[in-house]
Each structure stands twice: as C-alpha cells, then as structure tokens.
Structure 1
Amino acid sequence: MSPSDTSQPRRYSRITVIKLLLPSLLGIFIFFVPITLSGHTTIALDHMVTGARSLLGEGSGLYAMAMIIAGGFYPLLSGTWRESLTSGVFTVLKLIGIPVAGMALTGWGPDFLHTPDMLPFLFDKLVIPVGLIVPIGAVFLALLVSFGLLELIGVLVQPVMRPIWRTPGRSAIDAVASFVGSYSIGLLITNRVYIAGHYSAREAAIIATGFSTVSATFMIIVAKTLDLMSVWNTYFWLTLLITFAVTAITVRLPPLATMDDTSEDGEPVAAKAPTLSASVALNFKEGLLMAISILPSIMSVGLAGLLVAKYTPFFDWVGWLFYPFVAIWGLEEARQLAQASAAGLAEMFLPALLMGDAGFVARFAAGVISVSGVLFFSASIPCIVSTRIPLSVGRIVIVWFIRVALSLLLAVPTAMIVNAIG
C-alpha cells in the first residue's frame, strides 16, 4: 500500500473533525464571547438582535403583533387546542393576548394599563426582544446542538447522571439541549422517549421539571432586563450550576422520589450530524413556533401577573413562604426578592421585571430564580401537562415551590460572592 493510501483515512478523519468542530466553536463564540461594538460590550447574538431591531425601526412593533396574532390562532388551525383541557384554556389565554398586544401597540385602553411598568414594559422590553431573539438565536443554536458538542458533553457526564440526578446517561443530552436550546423541544423529546419505554415515569418527570428550563436566548433577555450583561458568562454558568444542583436535591424529595421508576432504560443509537442548511432550517422553524407560542401568553398571563403583583396582596402572601430562605442571609431586600420569586409561578420573567431596580445581589439572585425555578404557568407548565408524563398540576406546583426555596438558598450567597469579587 502506498504512503498516500495509508494517509487517506487519516485525512478524511481530520476533515470530519473540522466539520464538527468549526460549527461548535462558532456557536460558542456567538453565545459566550463578549465583543465591543460602538462602545457597547455584549455577546454577538445580542448585537445581532439590537441590529435587527434598529433595522426594523417602528416596524418592530408590527412584527411582534403579527407573531402574536399567528400564535393566538395557531392552536385553532393546528387542532392542538383539543388535546386537553389545559391546551384549551391556554388557547383562550393566547387569543386574549391579541387584543392586549393591540392595546400596547396603539395606546388604546385604560390609562392604568399604559403606565411604564405595565403594557409598555411588557411589549417594548420583553415581547419585541423575545420575538426577535428566539428565531435568530434558534438559527445559531443549531451550531451548538447539531454538530456533536452536546453528544460530547453527554458522553463526558454519563458516569455522573444516575448517581447525582437518578436519570440514565442519555438524559445528559436532553438536559443540556433543553438548557441551551428549547424547553418545548426538550419536552417533546423527553415525552417520545418516555412513551417508547426508555424513561421511567420518575425519570421523565425529573427531566421535565428539572432540566427543561428556558434557553440561553431567553436568559439573555433576563440578563438585559436586570442589567447583568456585564457579567453574562458568570451569570450563565452559575445559573446552570444552581439549576442542576437544585434538581439533584429535588429528585430525592417527594413528589418526584415516590414516582414509578420502571423502564427499559435503553440508550440511543448515535445519529449522523445533519447538514448545516438542514439543521439551520429546522431550528429556525422550531424557533418561530416557539416564539409565536410564547409571545401571546406573555401578553395575557404576563399582564395578569403584573396586575396581581401591583394591585393585590397575593404574591405578597405567597412570598412570605419564601422569606426565611432569603432573610437567613441578611439581605436588605429579602421581602421584595421573596415576593418577586413567588410571582415567577405566573411568568418566568416576572422576578426580573419586579427586581429591575434592586441592588446587584437581589438582581443577580432574581435572574437565577427566573431560570432555576423552571416551572411557570405562561408556558412550561401547560407544555408538561400536554405530554404523557404523569405529572398533575398540583405535583408540579409542589416541585416549583421546592425548587424556588432551594434556589434562593443557593442564589443569594452566590450573588454576594460575585458582588464581593467584583
């Protein structure tokens, strides 16, 4: 055999490695490397979204309105509103989101809805950025999730998955994919694997309530709302660490610990990486569907949550249950943070919205809670209820309470350390 023959397999191997490595490295750069443009330092994806909004100008509001209308009517056109009572209820809430968004866009309606902390805040500071960042982010998430990076992470952490989180090795990929991708897609995958018998009821419930949190693109909105982009990498990785640490504890407590744990426990067969164009197209489609699904719910449920938080004592009452978990650290804004954390049950952005003017420690902790709580009624809870995973709303709320309490215990001292280090 000639030297050229012996070197051929090695050359093709290098090409394959490069094809897998370059997209992943580009994805890491876009999501995690801060760059400075026009005196503003943030990650590349945030710069892209800012540029897209500048190009759209006044049209950004019309774009968001179109997405909300599409999201409101999509369940009716696709027939998903018939799947369950919960699906039907949230279809109604999405439809309500259309006239609410119309009021935000036109200025029509009662004056108290147009105060800066109500409809203008929801529409301008939340809905428009989310409507842009989710589809744009989904395109670049393809670089992170489709070319071997997640599988590599999954292989590396397989030995620790069952001892720590009591789930099989394959769930490592589900866990990381949900965190850097989409909780809705993550839940669909988990549901399929559960129906196939490869996850037990307990394992599927652990993944759904502990790993299927909001994506990195949503975390950027939270960080921007709380003015945390200057510490983006610190915030992102510590939030990931706290989220998974809380999950490791909740899996050992009722109601998750008492669920059925029988399964075939099969492992997946590795699949060939898709082409870049196919992966980008698929992720963009999923990003659009996710955006139109969440935007009308943000307008209706988010507004309801803000109204309840501002004009009723409900979250104040619930917040007192969380107060000891914050007060133990001596934080001056303990009561406000506890009550804002309680509001996260309605919508994951509410803790960030309510704590936007607080001190650094309270803002950082609120940013962690918004993500590590995982469960909220405007999106993730109805997604879980619509699957075959045997989790009732009551069980989900109990898990949410445990998660928020534990998250506060960890997030507040972590934020104090970050603040001390500077």
Structure 2
Amino acid sequence: MEQKYINKKNLTKFVIGSGLGIFMFLFPIPQDGAFTTFIDYVKNFIHDLLGNALPYVLLTLMMIAAIGSLYDTIFKPKWIENNHYLKKAFSTTPFYLTFKIMGAIICFMVVFNIGPEFIIGVDVGGTIVGLAGTLLCIVLGFSFMLPFLTDCGIMEFLGVMARPIVQPLFGVPGRASVDLIASWFGASNAAVILTREQYMKGFYTKREAAYIMTNFSLVSIPFCLLIANSVGVAHLFPAFYLIICVTGIILAIIIRRIPPICNIENTYQEQVGKQIQEDIPDEHHIFKYAVEMGCKRASTFTLKNIITNGMEVVMGMLFDLVPTVIAWGTLALIVATYTPLVDIISYPMGMYLKLFGIEEAFAAAPATLIGFTDMFIPALLLTGIQSVKTRFVVAALSLVQIIYLTEVGVIAIKSEVPLNFWKLLIIFLERTIIAIPLIVLFSSFVF
C-alpha cells in the first residue's frame, strides 16, 4: 500500500492542496484585536464587492429558486430531471416548495420595503434577509474552496492523528476535529455544511453527523467577542470564553450518551456506504499511516473536483437552502418578537435560574430560550439586565446552545442527516438545562 500511494505526485497534492485548505479554513488571521480566517475574509470581500446590489442579487436568486421549483413541480421537465445540478436546485416536495415561494415573497417585501412592519421590520424580515445575504457570500466563497479541505487528504491525516483522543472522548472519527476548528475560527454554519458534505460522501454515519452538527458546530471566537461586548462583559472575555469551551466539551460528552442522539441509526449514507478508514494496522506507525491515508485520498483529487463539488454545493445551498432560511427564520422571529409565547414558556426557566441563585431570573428567562431562533437575539434581550453576573451567565449559555434555527437548524433539517425540528428542539433544551448549572458553577470563580 505504501508503494502504491506514497509517491511524489500524491505527496505533492497532499501537502500543497491540504496546505491551501488549512490556510483558507483553519489558519487564524489576526484582525481588529480578534481572529478571522481567509474564508471569512473572502466572505467579507464578496459582501463588500456586491455592496448595495447584494439584496437585489439575493432577490433574483430567490425568485429563480421559487419559479424554477414551481415549474419543475408542475411540468417535471426532462432538462431539469436529467441534470444533476438543476435537479438538486429545483426538485423539491410540495412542503418545501411552499417555503421557497414564501422565502421569495418575504425577500421581495423586505428589499422593496413593501408590507406590514411585523414582516419587513429590521428585527424580523430585515434581520433574516441580511443573514441570507451573508449566507450567500459564505456559499460563494466556501463552495469552490471546500475540496482543498475535504479531498486533498488533510481530513484523513488529522483523522488518524486525532483519533486516539477524539474517538474515546466523543465517539466520533478523528476527522471531526476539523469541523471543530473550522467553527472556532470561521462560522458555525460553515462547519455544519462541511459535516453534511462529509456525511454525503460516507465519512460519517447518520448518528455521527447528527452529533457533530449539534455539538461541534461552535460559535466562532470573533462572534463570542461580539456577544461579550454587546452584554458588557468584554473585560472578562478570557474567563468567558474558557467557560464556553469547557462547558461545550462536557455537553458533548453527555449529549452523545442520551436520546435523541444515541437513538439515531449508526449507519452510513445508503448510496455511498462507509468510505472512512482511521483504524491503524498493527504494523504501522501512527504518523506514517496518517501520511499514507492522506496520500491515498489525495490520489483521487483533480481540478475537476473543485468545479463539480463546488457547483453541487452552490446549487443546493443557494436555490434550496437559502429560501428556506428566509421563510423559517422570519416566521420564528415573528413568533419571538410579536407574540407572548416566549415569555409564557420561559417561566419555568425563570424558576430554574432562580434555583441557582441567578439575579433577575425571570427577566433573563426569555433569553435562555429565544436563542433557538437566532444566536444574536439573547444578547439583545440582556441589555436591560442590571446584574453583570446574570448577563455573563446567560450570554455564555446562548453561545453553547449551538442550535439556532436561522444559522444551524435549517441547514441540518434540509440535509439528509436524520435531524428534524423536534429532535433539534429536544437537543437544544438538553444543552440548556445541563449547561446552566455548569456555567453558574464555573462563573462562581469569576464573581
């Protein structure tokens, strides 16, 4: 095997291709007192390049998605059905067609400022359309760079090297460490997309993919700093972020052992089967075998992979995912902003917070649940809380809950990983209930 895969050509592709992947996705670049990544820089470049045209570009894509899917649903044209990329973009079910059309309508209303305030308001549809524009920029920058991270061998190499630690601790392949690093320095939705692609290629089982999406897709360091600034605890950021990391690790260890994660089938995607090999043969040294696996994966990499894989991600994300993000995200924020539902259902959380001695517990309670809709809303609700410790605890909580419908949830539900709305809600509540006493305990060393 060594003679077959470890050669100059494969080593060159492995080292150079993987080096580019690491630099683009995982290498931290200092920026404005924090860290970012090259992919985040590209996202911002595309965002700035499109400038004021971005909402109109987004609207055009949403209209194409809605009209194309409606046309395909009614007429089933061969030119769509027989084209892999077009089928991925426009073939859908009546259920999701409804949300594609709704997403296009909401986007139209927001862009042209037409319609009731509870839909187009800056805290509702305006927020979601802005998020969708950012997601558009992420997808455009992310898609054609992803093969350097997934197809050049670095995930196989790190998978073998990290497996002795990651597998016993979390029960997942070592390559999951790449997802974790990608979200640390990049964005949680980018890590979820990466996990989805790895599942579709046979490198994660259904259970592993669901577990990684809901436990490893941490919020990036820059966003954690933004939240700390927003709630007035930036001066405590080292302790704030350390508590987030430690709590996140404990949650990941616990969540994999309880339903619904432990009840999900531990089988691979049926069409591709198992494609991963991280077990180290007895006669191999771990580093040498890691290089061997990296070269084996790199041997299949061609420039064509960049185009074909990139186009598949682009078509699926832009024309299938983004319209759903707009529709579901807007509906979620309408409920959160204009109905008393969150205040009513958060009353038990107020009692739970009070149990652990949290000041202004009932005033802070809505912020413990509203994060299920969007990651930034809890910080907005905390601005009126006087207690610094309460703001510290609940802000840290909002960043370990992970499952935000507008960022992570819709991507997870729209993937083929067996995660639905109710499973995500249960996991969100589990993470919330378990995390609160942990964060309160750890914060007692700070206050």
Q: 2:253 aligns with which of 220, 226, 248?
A: 248
- Letter aligned with residue 405 of structure 1: I
Instruction: Work out whether residues 329 and 406 of structure 2, in 8 Å CA contact, stay in contact via their aligned partners in 1.
Output: no
State the shift of 1:62 in Å.
0.6
Instruction: Work out whether residues 341 and 370 of structure 1, in 8 Å CA contact, stay in contact via their aligned partners in 2.
Output: no
Residues 381, 284 of structure 1: alpha-carbon distance in 2 compared, 3 angstrom cutoff: closer
Task: Report matched runs for 1:104-115 at 5 Å.
Answer: 104-115=110-121
Identify which range, 51-60 or 68-77, moves more after superposition.
Answer: 68-77
1:101-155 residue CA offsets vs partner (Å, 9 max, x unmatched): 111000111244444323333323x222222123213344444434333223311
- Letter aligned with residue 337 of structure 2: K
Q: Aligned partners of 2:259, 2:440: CA distance in 1, in Å?
A: 25
State the shift of 1:61 in Å.
1.1
Q: 2:369 maps to what in 1?
A: 342
Residue identity over aligned pairs, in percent, reads: 17
1:66 to 2:60 alignment: yes
1:22 to 2:24 alignment: no
Q: Aligned partners of 1:240, 1:137: CA distance in 2, in Å?
A: 25
Q: 1:127 maps to what in 2?
A: 132
1:382 to 2:413 alignment: yes
Residues 111, 317 of structure 1: alpha-carbon distance in 2 compared, 3 angstrom cutoff: closer
1:398 to 2:414 alignment: no
- Letter aligned with residue 104 of structure 1: V
1:49 to 2:43 alignment: yes
SS in 1 for 2:31: strand
State the shift of 1:163 in Å.
3.1
Q: 1:34 maps to what in 2?
A: 30
Q: 2:392 maps to what in 1?
A: 361
Task: Report matched runs for 1:281-296 at 5 Å.
Answer: 282-283=309-310, 285-287=312-314, 289-296=316-323
Q: Aligned partners of 2:128, 2:360: CA distance in 1, in Å?
A: 24
Instruction: Work out whether residues 244 and 396 of structure 2, in 8 Å CA contact, stay in contact via their aligned partners in 1.
Output: no
1:319-361 residue CA offsets vs partner (Å, 9 max, x unmatched): 3344466556655565465423423444566546756888773
State the shift of 1:192 in Å.
6.5
Q: 2:342 maps to what in 1?
A: 315
SS in 1 for 2:297: coil
Residues 259, 105 of structure 1: alpha-carbon distance in 2 compared, 3 angstrom cutoff: closer
SS in 2 for 1:34: strand
1:303 to 2:330 alignment: yes
SS in 2 for 1:379: helix
State the shift of 1:208 in Å.
0.9
- Letter aligned with residue 272 of structure 1: R
Residues 250, 138 of structure 1: alpha-carbon distance in 2 compared, 3 angstrom cutoff: same
Residues 160, 110 of structure 1: alpha-carbon distance in 2 compared, 3 angstrom cutoff: same
Instruction: Work out whether residues 134 and 288 of structure 1, in 8 Å CA contact, stay in contact via their aligned partners in 2.
Output: no
Q: Aligned partners of 1:144, 1:178: CA distance in 2, in Å?
A: 13
1:100 to 2:100 alignment: no
Residues 93, 410 of structure 1: alpha-carbon distance in 2 compared, 3 angstrom cutoff: farther
1:153 to 2:158 alignment: yes
Q: Aligned partners of 2:320, 2:225: CA distance in 1, in Å?
A: 22
Q: 2:402 maps to what in 1?
A: 371
Instruction: Work out whether residues 305 and 343 of structure 1, in 8 Å CA contact, stay in contact via their aligned partners in 2.
Output: no
TM-score, length-normalised on structure 2?
Answer: 0.67
> How many pairs align?
391
1:387-416 residue CA offsets vs partner (Å, 9 max, x unmatched): 5x4x67544533332123234445566788
Residues 215, 42 of structure 1: alpha-carbon distance in 2 compared, 3 angstrom cutoff: same
Q: Aligned partners of 1:416, 1:68: CA distance in 2, in Å?
A: 48
Q: Aligned partners of 1:411, 1:291: CA distance in 2, in Å?
A: 37
State the shift of 1:305 in Å.
1.5
1:200-233 residue CA offsets vs partner (Å, 9 max, x unmatched): xxxx3353144357968x8589559747699999
Q: Aligned partners of 2:129, 2:246: CA distance in 1, in Å?
A: 31
State the shift of 1:92 in Å.
1.1
Q: 1:272 maps to what in 2?
A: 297
Flag structure 2 segments of 5+ consecutive residues without an equivalent. Answer: 1-5, 73-85, 183-189, 278-292
Q: Aligned partners of 1:280, 1:356: CA distance in 2, in Å?
A: 46
Instruction: Work out whether residues 345 and 377 of structure 1, in 8 Å CA contact, stay in contact via their aligned partners in 2.
Output: no
TM-score, length-normalised on structure 1?
Answer: 0.70
Residues 21, 131 of structure 1: alpha-carbon distance in 2 compared, 3 angstrom cutoff: closer
1:160-208 residue CA offsets vs partner (Å, 9 max, x unmatched): 44433344xxx332564487345356346436649xxx94xxxx33531
Q: 1:207 maps to what in 2?
A: 209
1:183 to 2:211 alignment: no
Q: 2:123 maps to what in 1?
A: 117
- Letter aligned with residue 400 of structure 1: F
Question: What's the Cα RMSD here?
Answer: 4.8
Instruction: Work out whether residues 28 and 37 of structure 2, in 8 Å CA contact, stay in contact via their aligned partners in 1.
Output: yes
Task: Report matched runs for 1:82-101 at 5 Å.
Answer: 88-101=94-107
Higher RCO, 1 or 2 (CA under 8 Å, sep at least 6)?
2
